[in-house]
Amino acid sequence: HVWYRSPSETDRDAGAFDSEGLMDLSALADKIGDPQMQFYLCGPVAFMQFAAKQLVDLGVSSGNIHYECFGPHKVL
């Protein structure tokens, strides 16, 4: 699922995203119930912390949340 806070006109024209605006993962709650589902986050640390907290709040195991930091490694 690709979520853009502010998609460009090119992204809009290409239909290159699924959701728009500030990420609210509760909108996807009915799609993330599989306990085997894996989640991959990439972006600024504050964004990844924001998204990871939402996933955990929705019942996702922290072991199923993976991320890549650009810069010093931090634990979410």
Give the pLDDT confidence of 8-24 residue by residue, as tens digits: 999 999 998 999 998 89
- Please enumerate in sequence order all residues whose Cβ is within 8 A of that of 14, keeping only pairs 6 or more positions apart, or say none: none
Fold of 3-68: Rossmann fold (3.40.50)
Q: Is 71 left (phi over 0), alpha (psi -120 to 50) or beta?
A: left
The predicted structure's pLDDT at residue 36: 94
Contact (CB, 8 A) for 41 and 69: no
| pLDDT tens by residue, 34-45 | 999 999 998 888
